[in-house]
Each structure stands twice: as C-alpha cells, then as structure tokens.
Amino acid sequence: MTLPHLLPLLAFLLHLAGILAAMHALMNTRTPQGAFAWALGLSLLPYVTLVPYLYLGRSHFQGYVTLHRAHRKRLLQASERGEHASIPESCVRYSEMAQMVHGTFHSGQQLKLLVDGEAAFEAMFQAIARAERCILVQFFIFHDDTLGQRMQHALLERAAAGVRVFVLFDGIGSHALPRSYAQTLQQGGVTIYPFATRRRPNRFQLNFRNHRKILVIDGCVGFLGGLNVGDEYLGLKPPLAPWRDTHMQLAGPAVMDLQRSFAVDWHWVTGELPPMLPPAPAQGDALTLIAATGPADPQETCSLFFTVAINAARKRLWLTTPYFVPDQAVLSALRLAVMRGVDVRVLLPSRPDHFTVFLASTLHAHDALGAGIRIYRYQPGFMHQKVILIDDDTACISSMNLDNRSFRLNFEIGALNVDHAFAADVERMLLEDFGNSLEITREEYRRSSYVRRLAMHVARLFDPVL
C-alpha cells in the first residue's frame, strides 16, 4: 500500500481506538465532569487526546485497591488502637472525618511547628542522628543535589551504626533521580524502593502518585508536611526562591498512625512489613488525627477532609495552598462558611511553578472573590505550604493541595491537631505570611488581557487532571 492509501486506514484505526478509550473513560473516570471531558475529546479529537489519556486517564490499579483495603483493615484490627475510641468533646465537630479515615484522635501529643525548610530539615537531621533502631523515610521527590546528598549521607551513617533504614520515593515525582543515588544507599545497607500502584513498571501511568512526606524515628518521633528532599525547598533555586513551606514534628501515640500509613505503602511495594515500634508515651496536651487519603479509598477522602474541616469553622478559616483548583463540594463549603460569618482567607503564590495550574487557580480565585472569600498572594517567593487554621484551636499541616490531583489522584497525608497552643503558633506564622502578601481584588482578572483571560478559561477545562 502506498502512503496515500494508508492514511485513511490509519485515521480510521485512530478514531476506533479513540472510541474504545472513550468507552473506557466513561466506565472508569471518577467524576462526571472528567468522564465527559475525556469521552468528548477521545471521540472527536483522538489525534490530540489519545496519548495524554494513556498517561493520565488510565485507572488500572484495581489490584492495588483490593490489596490496599484488605491490608489496611488487617493493620487496624491488629493494632491496639484499631478500635474507635470515643471522640473527645473538643473534636466532635470532626467526628465524620475520623470515621471516614478510620482514625482516632490521639491525646497527649507533643507538637512542634517547623515554619520553613531550614527549621524542618535541621530538626529532621537531628532526629535521624539520634536514631537507634529504625528510620522510616517517605518523600514524593528526592533530588541528587546538596540537600539530597546530605540526606543520603545521614541515612548511610545510621545504617552503618546498625539502624534499620527503609526509604520510599515516588517513581514519577523523583523521575530525575539517578539510579546511582538509590544504589549507593542500597550498598550502604539502606532498603530503598520506588512507589508505584502497579508492581510491574508502567511508563504510561502518571496518575495515582504517592505524594506523602513522612519521616519516623524509632517509632517515637514523626514528621510530615509539604517539604521534599531538594535544594529548592531550602530556597536555593531561583526564580522561585525563597521557597515558602511548612512541616511539623510530633511525638506521642499518633506516630503509630504514621507508621501504619508507611507500612501499607511498603507492603504493597515489597510484600513485607517494616518494623512497627511502639510510640512514645503521651506527654503533651494536643489531640491529633492522622488522615491518610488516596484514590484507593472507598470515599473521596481528601475532598471530604477539606469539606468537613471547612464546615467545622465558626469564626475563622485560613487556608494556604500552592494550587487553588477546588471542586464544587469544597467551593460550596467555602461559600457557606462566608455566609455564616466566618473569616475565610486563602493564601496563594504570586509566582507559578506550573503555568497551566496557575492560570486555572487565578480564575478560581476570581470566582471565590465574588463569594466573599479573601484571597492573598505571597510576594517574597513561591508559596508551597499546605496549612489550615480553624477558629482558635485547630490547625492542620499536610501534603494535601486544593486541587483534583490531591482530591482524587494522589496518596496524601495530614495531621489535624486540636490544641490552642499549636493553633496560636500557626496563627503567628500565618499573620507574618499575610503581612508579606498582597490582598487581591477582582481587578486582577479584569486588568488581564483578553488572551490571558481566555487562557485561564481554557486552563480550567483541565481541572480534572490538574
């Protein structure tokens, strides 16, 4: 066959493949909006949508879902704290959240706010240096740069001292990490694996990433938040520097839940369980709920996590997020909070790290302003922290972004803390952040050129995969 005769056949086969993929999207995409967008694009424009769907739209991880749920259930049943304890009175307004994530509000927590990368990594490296039995490490991104090499050396030093070290990193988030980085750790006695929801490598699967950031030392001290292992998180890489991010440290019974989250991910990757060490005795005053969310959950737990948190606010709700692409449930909850007199503020970056997401976020911010939500843009550098402050007693530090990727496609983790002292620390931190920000008005959108406004509306069409 000559090329002119082959072209119609190729076009027919491409459209047939597009129709088959559209049927798959209708059956497997989790939201009606996403299903409609994929089905329409695959049916009418398979030339431009088929390849992106192979990377972003496939959902072949049913085996993971089944094993994930079964193993998490076994861990909960085996744990002494697997049974639901009674909800303390100060936490009753979050009872649906605890039920949804099969979690418990642990009392007696000792909490420390780590306001930036320098404070967070200094605390983490000090804790690693004191490890005697076991270190659990999980980050979305590892870079082989100055900070990454410092982390590598710290883990190798403890492994050489006889400490058991277990490391998970996300295969896509850490796509730039050279193999030599993991090989060096392995040769030094560190057990390290990339996370993927399919045990066989699948270069076509970009969704269902493990976005969690967890560090646990000897079962007693835990860390979580928004930071990854890379120089940019210390503000050392322009043009986004200085990088604004937040982590937290906790000690007490809730550290067992961090270990449990790590163990579920580790078991899927390796078929084995890491050590589950008893946490430190309760010596603090805070109540903490660890919420591990992900696309394998029966409910859309991350979106519901935000909805419950927003609905609980009575006086104040301050949110910080690098990506403001709320779904309808979260946006409606924010609107209702404004209507009942809550001071609702959202802190966003003024610089983009992902331009399409930034455009969509700008349009959503414009719509939020119309609902009475106050929007601020952080000026000194890129703002990446994921923090929620509710009234005068509750603060959440997490890896969760306000976008569909965190809501439905990523594995995330957060700590919801009910404690006046910790909330006061978060309030002081955010007041300084707001002092370094500009409150925007609807003029931001109106002053934009027509082409830029059009780009915002086009970007919003991609909300289901942002």
- Residue numbers annotated as active site: 211, 213, 218, 384, 386, 391
Say if CB 314 and CB 342 are below 8 A apart.
Answer: yes
Those residues whose C-beta lies under 8 Å from the C-beta of residue 302, and which sit 6 or more positions away, are 293, 294, 400, 406, 407, 408, 410, 412
Could you give the angle at which helices 62-78 and 255-270 cross, rounded to 10 degrees? 140
Q: How far apart are CA 357 and CA 191, in angstroms?
A: 35
Structure token pair of residue 226: 């928004």
Count other Cβ atoms within 10 Å, centred on residue 345.
19
Q: How far apart are CA 303 and CA 403, in angstroms?
A: 9
Count other Cβ atoms within 10 Å, centred on residue 359.
23
Structure token pair of residue 391: 């009234």
Choose among 117, 170, 180: nearest CA to 139: 170
Cα 163-166-171 angle, rounded to 5 deg: 155
